[in-house]
Amino acid sequence: MTDEATQKVLVTREGAVLVVTINRPESRNAIDRETSLALAEAMDQLDSDPALSLAILTGAGDHFCAGMDLKAFVAGERVELPGRGLAGMTQSPPAKPLIAAVEGYALAGGFEIALACDLIVASETAQFGLPEAKRGLIAGSGGLVRLPERVPRQIAMECALTGRMIPAAEAERWGLINRLSAPGAALDTAKSLAAEIAKNAPMSLAASKEIVAQAGRWSEDSLWPRQNEILERVIASRDAREGATAFAEKRPPVWKGR
């Protein structure tokens, strides 16, 4: 990966939280192929490091992400990564929890990236939308699949067919947003939420995410066996013993992520 590509995505650690920033403010953080590769690398770092519990994904400047870089698309770039999708995550999100901190626009692929995250914190001035039909495209990076899971089907259908923008207040009303912040404070609000989450055991967080995200697609016959398989992994972990021991000793647990 080139130095230029690395600079398109900034990655910092704050304790157990990885803060990942799409750093292309001059193009409203639109995603080209190098940015997808850099974001995929950041997601791999999140999942491979047992000291990390979750990540926050945000955008530099005034906007979260305006979607796929159309100039790159017209120039022949394939922005999506095989098996991983746009931004290296819309098709295969990380195993660990991911919070989107949204200021300004989260449009087209940018909205789809936010929908691939587990939680959304948004500024009061944020706007969401799937305008692909206006450009002769469809929201093929998960928007048409995930939005109906987050809001009523008829609202998702209207958004997909009209391409209209959804103001943050409306998105909160439909339950799409977890926390609404003052303008400019989405990242700080996301960090506060992340700190609350990071107090808990990393394996428990990843396992809980897996069940919440996948259980709706499991058959009735397989639901309990699949959940119990995940549960057994958690019960057998060092952190499960540490949690019980810390509770008995009336002290904060020290998680190892294993």
pLDDT digits (tens, 9 = 90+) for 104-145: 999 999 999 999 999 999 999 999 999 999 988 899 999 999
Q: Is the pLDDT of residue 1 over 50?
A: no
pTM over the 0.85 mark? yes
Tokens 């922005």 map to which residue?
A: 79
Q: What is the 3-state secondary structure (H, E, C) of the chain?
A: CCHHHHHCEEEEEECCEEEEEECCHHHCCCECHHHHHHHHHHHHHHHHCCCCCEEEEEECCCCCECCECHHHHHCCCCCCECCCEHHHCCCCCCCCCEEEEECCEEECHHHHHHHHCCEEEEECCCEEECCHHHHCCCCCCCHHHHHHHHCCHHHHHHHHHHCCEEEHHHHHHCCCCCEEECCCCHHHHHHHHHHHHHCCCHHHHHHHHHHHHHHHHCCHHHHHHHHHHHHHHHHCCHHHHHHHHHHHCCCCCCCCCC
Q: Is the pLDDT of residue 29 over 80?
A: yes
Q: Is the pLDDT of residue 33 over 60?
A: yes
Tokens 């692929």 map to which residue?
A: 109
pLDDT at 256: 85
Q: Decide if 132 is catalytic.
A: yes
As a whole-number percent, the residues of the chain with pLDDT over 90 amount to 88
pLDDT at 65: 98
Q: Decide if 77 is catalytic.
A: no
pLDDT at 2: 43
> Maximum CA pair distance of the chain?
62
Nearest Cα neighbor of 150 from 184, 192, 106, 189 is 106
Among candidate residues 132, 170, 210, 249, the one labeled active-site is 132
CA distances from 233 to 3, 6, 69, 203, 206 (A): 39, 35, 41, 9, 11
Q: What are phi and psi of 204, to 5 degrees?
A: -65, -40
pLDDT at 146: 96
Q: Are 65 and 31 in contact (CB under 8 A)?
A: yes
Among candidate residues 34, 80, 103, 112, the one labeled active-site is 112
**Which band of pLDDT confidence, cut at 50, 70 and 90, is reported for residue 6?**
low
- C-alpha–C-alpha distance, residues 236 and 101, integer Å: 34
